[in-house]
């Protein structure tokens, strides 16, 4: 009875493993090994008509060998240096140098290998779907190859009739999850109580993560939050919420947010990078990336904030903000995390870059907003504000994400440069619509302001506005940052370029140039950004107006105003945009009024 029960349990576990593998149908892609000379057709699958010579059939790094029948003692074909595996008919073991046949291990290794996503993504599939669809990291492929031409020396006398290749269609997320399922199923002890076996098998597919960073069930369940600096767990393939990444310790990177359910579920938020303080050079931890939302429904997680950095006599560098998570069919993408601030007394300070907003690739939802660049402050050193992150793009319907603003910069003695604003996200079809493009979303980030006691101050440049590829308004360019110097030189940042408008949609206005003010020295206003030019071959798309040039004032010294940006060209009968006005200049009175 015990033996019979054990057989039943093993059969149940085996069936569970096969069920987990049912979502995937094949092995790695059939590839053409161009570095090897053409071989005899006898050791290849039937040649495909898409290519002029034979294509070798591989399931890993060795030729496909199926069955346990006797294999003739034949030499490998010319040019093939791989040994031919052989087995005897007695079942007492293989020939000298060949490992004993283990059917259980063969099945397990085969499942793991078949369900693994290809390591190299540049392999050439024999046949496949059109490459215009890009839902995952590579195009989907579905290839069926008859093995009738494979000789007995390679296939054995029990060769299957057909081999269906669909392994390349498995995206990495599903492949890794199914591989995990197989390993967990194999780890179940079949000798324990059958009820316990059934319970353990059920937990493989349905459960919430409990330990820090643990994934949810293969099919249903939420991922657990990560520990310090640890990634959050992923949600189940069908439904589940990704766990949040853990915040980093001092100077440590934050963990990434877990992926939401592959079909339904929100991505987890990225953990914040750890702050750090000390002597010498110090670097704050980077924020973790937000997890992706579900393919059907789900929002992307926000990126974690970069860690702040503070030094007494060295260079302080703020951590980078994490990128926002992408979203799928319905749902907004996650915002990028802000860059970490930096400060130093007798050294340079560099603010962290803001994270990029996540992309929304499908039907309805907005791209994520770019994170703000970190501020930088120094007493006796240079200060550089962090650049803002770029806004996320939109695939079909939605608004591109606004670019993040650049960080500010200040130093008492040295050079201060504000961070540049991030570029806004673009839209492929119907995004950046009226009222949401030029006046709201899809605007380029503003450049960061800069100030210095004695030295040079340079405002950051504004980011470019988002463009639409067909129908929608173009976004405005970001304004350049302002610059102020008590003594020395001040230069305002340039405005960003306006985005392209689509069908009956105006293009975006160029960003205004930043102003410049100096007590004693040279002041120069920033130039306005160019107005956007409409998408070619669309109807009634007016060009964008150029941005205004920045004003300049010097109490003692010279002042040069910024030039206005050029107007964009209209398309399909739309009016051309006007040029922006030049800035004004004044000297003499150090009140700052101009």
> What would the DSSP string read from start to end of 164-228?
EE-GGGS-HHHHHHHHHHHHHHHHS-TTS-HHHHHHHHHHHHB----STT----SSB-PPPPP-T
Q: Is the pLDDT of residue 531 over 50?
A: yes
Average pLDDT over residues 283-303: 95
CA distances from 24 to 27, 115, 163, 328 (A): 9, 7, 13, 22
Least confident window among 6-20, 201-215, 353-367, 528-542: 6-20
pLDDT tens-digit profile of 386-417? 999 999 998 777 788 999 999 999 999 999 99
Least confident window among 139-148, 210-219, 503-512: 139-148
**Which residue(s) pair with 552 in the sheet?**
516, 585
Average pLDDT over the chain, rounded to whole? Answer: 76
Q: Is the pLDDT of residue 6 over 90?
A: no
Q: What is the pTM of this model?
A: 0.71
Q: CA gyration radius for the chain? A: 31
Dihedral, CA of residue 496, residue 498, residue 499 and residue 504, to nearest 10: 170
Q: Return the pLDDT at 219.
A: 92
Q: Is the pLDDT of residue 41 over 90?
A: no
Rounded Cα gap, residues 458 and 480, in angstroms: 10
What is the 8-class DSSP label of residue 98? S
Q: Would you say 276 and 243 are in contact if contact means Cβ atoms under 8 Å apart?
A: no
Find the angle CA(234)-CA(240)-CA(246) to the nearest 5 degrees: 40
Q: Express as a percent the part of the chain with pLDDT over 70.
A: 67
Rounded Cα gap, residues 356 and 336, in angstroms: 5
What is the 8-class DSSP label of residue 351? P
Rounded Cα gap, residues 431 and 439, in angstroms: 14
Average pLDDT over residues 16-26: 41
Q: Is the pLDDT of residue 456 over 60?
A: yes
Q: Return the pLDDT at 94.
A: 36
Rounded Cα gap, residues 59 and 84, in angstroms: 15
Average pLDDT over residues 4-31: 42
Q: Would you say 393 and 367 are in contact if contact means Cβ atoms under 8 Å apart?
A: yes
Q: Return the pLDDT at 540.
A: 82
Who has greater pLDDT, 110 or 379? 379
Rounded Cα gap, residues 95 and 375, in angstroms: 70
Q: Return the pLDDT at 26.
A: 36
Q: Express as a percent the part of the chain with pLDDT over 90.
A: 52
Q: Return the pLDDT at 104.
A: 52
SS3 readout for 527-593: CCCCCCCCCCCCCCECCCCCCCCCCEEEEEEEEECCCCCCCCCCECCCCCCCCCCCCCEEECCCCCC
- Please count the helices (runs of H) and the strands (runs of E) in the chain: 5, 16
Q: Return the pLDDT at 390.
A: 97
Q: Return the pLDDT at 503.
A: 82
**pLDDT class for 70, splitting at 50, 70, 90?**
very low
Q: Would you say 370 and 390 are in contact if contact means Cβ atoms under 8 Å apart?
A: yes
Least confident window among 88-92, 175-179, 348-352, 536-540: 88-92
CA distances from 146 to 29, 76, 141 (A): 15, 22, 16
**Which residue(s) pair with 46 in the sheet?**
none
Q: Return the pLDDT at 270.
A: 98
Q: Return the pLDDT at 470.
A: 77
Q: Return the pLDDT at 81.
A: 40
Q: Return the pLDDT at 161.
A: 31
Note the residue count of the chain: 594
Q: Return the pLDDT at 90.
A: 37
Q: Return the pLDDT at 29.
A: 33
Q: Return the pLDDT at 31.
A: 33
**pLDDT class for 278, splitting at 50, 70, 90?**
very high
Least confident window among 161-165, 433-437, 489-493: 161-165
Q: Is the pLDDT of residue 383 over 70?
A: yes
Average pLDDT over residues 277-285: 97
């Amino acid at each position: 009875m015990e033996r019979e029960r054990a057989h039943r349990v093993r059969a149940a576990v085996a069936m569970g493993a096969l069920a987990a593998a049912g979502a995937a149908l094949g092995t790695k892609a059939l590839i053409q090994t161009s570095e090897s000379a053409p071989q005899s057709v006898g050791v290849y699958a039937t040649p495909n008509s898409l290519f002029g010579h034979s294509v070798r059939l591989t399931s890993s790094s060795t030729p496909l060998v199926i069955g346990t029948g006797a294999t003739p003692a034949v030499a490998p074909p010319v040019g093939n240096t791989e040994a031919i595996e052989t087995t005897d008919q007695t079942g007492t073991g293989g020939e000298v140098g060949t490992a004993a046949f283990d059917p259980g291990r063969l099945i397990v290794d085969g499942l793991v290998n078949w369900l693994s996503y290809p390591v190299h993504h540049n392999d050439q599939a024999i046949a496949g779907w059109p490459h215009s669809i890009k839902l995952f990291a590579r195009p989907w492929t579905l290839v069926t190859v008859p093995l009738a031409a494979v000789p007995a020396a390679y296939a054995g006398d029990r060769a299957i009739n057909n081999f269906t290749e669909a392994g390349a269609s498995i995206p990495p997320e599903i492949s890794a999850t199914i591989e995990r399922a197989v390993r967990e199923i194999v780890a179940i002890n079949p000798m324990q109580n059958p009820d316990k076996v059934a319970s353990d098998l059920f937990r493989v597919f349905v459960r919430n993560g409990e330990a820090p960073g643990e994934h949810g069930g293969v099919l249903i369940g939420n991922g657990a939050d990560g520990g310090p600096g640890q990634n959050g767990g992923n949600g189940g393939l069908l439904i589940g919420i990704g766990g949040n990444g853990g915040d980093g310790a001092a100077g440590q990177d934050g963990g990434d947010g877990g992926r939401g359910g592959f079909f339904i579920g929100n991505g987890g938020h990225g953990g914040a990078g750890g702050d750090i303080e000390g002597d010498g050079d110090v670097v704050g931890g980077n924020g973790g990336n937000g997890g992706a939302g579900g393919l059907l429904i789900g929002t992307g997680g926000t990126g974690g904030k970069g860690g702040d950095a503070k030094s007494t006599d060295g260079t302080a560098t703020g951590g980078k903000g994490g990128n926002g998570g992408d979203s799928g069919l319905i749902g907004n993408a996650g915002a990028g995390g802000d860059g970490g601030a930096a400060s130093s007394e007798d050294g340079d300070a560099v603010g962290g870059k803001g994270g990029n907003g996540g992309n929304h690739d499908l039907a309805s939802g907005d791209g994520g907003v770019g994170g703000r660049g970190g501020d930088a402050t120094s007493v006796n050193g240079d200060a550089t504000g962090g650049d803002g992150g770029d806004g996320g793009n939109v695939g079909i319907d939605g608004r591109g994400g606004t670019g993040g603003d650049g960080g500010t910069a200040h130093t008492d003695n040295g050079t201060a440069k504000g961070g540049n604003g991030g570029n806004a996200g673009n839209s492929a079809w119907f995004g950046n619509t009226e009222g949401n493009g030029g006046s709201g979303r899809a605007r380029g980030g503003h450049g960061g302001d800069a100030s210095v006691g004695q030295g040079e101050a340079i405002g950051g440049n504004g980011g470019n506005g988002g463009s639409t590829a067909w129908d929608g308004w173009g976004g405005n360019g970001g304004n350049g940052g302002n610059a102020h110097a008590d003594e020395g030189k001040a230069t305002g940042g340039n405005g960003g370029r306006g985005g392209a408008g689509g069908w009956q949609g105006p293009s975006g206005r160029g960003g205004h140039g930043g102003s410049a003010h100096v007590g004693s020295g040279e002041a120069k206003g920033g130039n306005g950004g160019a107005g956007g030019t409409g998408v070619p071959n669309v109807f009634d798309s007016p060009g964008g107006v150029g941005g205004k040039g920045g004003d300049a004032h010097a109490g003692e010294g010279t002042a040069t105003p910024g030039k206005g940006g050029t107007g964009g060209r209209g398309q399909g009968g739309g009016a051309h945009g006007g040029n922006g006005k030049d800035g004004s200049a004044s000297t003499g009175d150090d009140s700052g009024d101009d």
